[in-house]
């Protein structure tokens, strides 16, 4: 069964460093998302991406964050200068359709980001 | 701001028992509601999607219902098994053209053998 994959599973970085989190969405899906979950807290939406551009973003997704689909399979989240509070599990998700009501999202296993 | 609440935060039941998990949302103008399962340190597994026009969805031992007018959804698990132990999250999509999911904090379920 097709699934969303993410690499690396765990990333440790120093504060102020740039990190890139990678995702391979399900191959025939059209919408891509990033969410994050700080330990013990709710899963929070960061950004959605469709047709090679951002379609929605949350207040969390500030200028330090960017997303890119560099080729036909990968979808990346870049954090330009990491802060301690960026430590979280980052989930990539994808969904197949353009109709909100039918839009089931499928999540990857996550990348745990630890900022020291 | 839209809020999704799940009560209880944790639930422990003996194996074989039928159980109900609750989810409530502040704005009845949802487009769909999705139930997920999350195992410790793992990703989210989609269990069921209920569109706003539907009242319920079933998958195996799972049945999810939706009452938009009261802002509530329930996930019914029949004949619970130790393998069902996990955190169950509900999430809703609001607003025309918005695909973002708003999550509850989840209910941690423990099924005791």
- Tell me: the pLDDT tens digits for A19-54? 999 999 999 898 999 999 999 999 999 999 998 999
Three-state secondary structure string covering A10-77: EEEECCCCCEEEEEECCCCCCEEEEEEECCCCCEEEEEEEECCEEEEECCCCCCCEEEECCCCCCEEE
Say what the pLDDT of residue A100 is. 65
Place of tokens 């938009």: B68
Please provide the size of chain B in residues: 113
Q: Is B48 helix (H, G, I), strand (E, B) or coil?
A: strand
Nearest to A35 by CA among A114, A105, A99: A105
Q: Which of residues 27-66 of A touch B (CB under 8 A)?
A: 31, 33, 35, 41-45, 48, 55-56, 58
Q: What is the pLDDT along chain B (113 residues), one digit of tens a residue?
A: 789 999 999 999 999 999 999 999 998 788 899 999 999 888 899 999 998 889 999 999 999 999 999 999 999 999 999 999 999 999 999 877 788 999 999 999 999 99
Residues 6+ apart with CB under 8 A from B93: A100, A103, B30, B31, B32, B33, B34, B99, B100, B101, B102
User: Which residues pair with residue A53 across a beta bridge?
Assistant: A50
Nearest to B47 by CA among B27, B73, B67: B73
Does the distance separating the beta carbons of B46 and A110 come in below 8 Å? no
Say what the pLDDT of residue B41 is. 81
B2 vs A: CB within 8 A: no
Chain B residues close to A94, C-beta within 8 Å: none
């Amino acid at each position: 069964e097709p699934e969303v994959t993410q690499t690396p599973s765990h990333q440790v970085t120093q504060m102020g460093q740039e990190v890139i989190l990678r995702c391979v969405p399900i191959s025939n899906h059209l919408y891509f998302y990033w969410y994050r979950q700080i330990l013990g807290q709710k899963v929070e939406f960061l950004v959605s991406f469709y047709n090679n551009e951002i379609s929605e973003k949350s207040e969390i997704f500030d200028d330090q964050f960017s997303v890119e689909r560099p080729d036909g399979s990968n979808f990346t989240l870049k954090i330009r200068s990491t802060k301690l509070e960026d430590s979280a599990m980052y989930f990539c998700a994808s969904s197949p359709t353009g109709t909100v009501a039918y839009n089931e999202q499928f999540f990857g296993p996550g990348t745990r980001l630890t900022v020291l | 701001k839209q809020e999704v609440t799940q009560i209880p935060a944790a639930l422990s039941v003996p194996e074989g028992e039928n159980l109900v998990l609750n989810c409530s949302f502040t704005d009845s103008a949802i487009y769909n509601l999705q139930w997920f399962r999350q195992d410790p340190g793992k990703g989210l597994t989609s269990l069921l999607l209920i569109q706003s026009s539907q009242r319920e969805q079933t998958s195996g031992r799972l049945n999810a219902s939706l009452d938009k007018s009261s802002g509530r959804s329930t996930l019914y698990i029949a004949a619970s098994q130790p393998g069902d132990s996990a955190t169950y999250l509900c999430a809703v999509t609001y607003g025309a053209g918005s695909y973002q999911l708003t999550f509850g904090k989840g209910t941690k379920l423990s099924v005791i053998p």
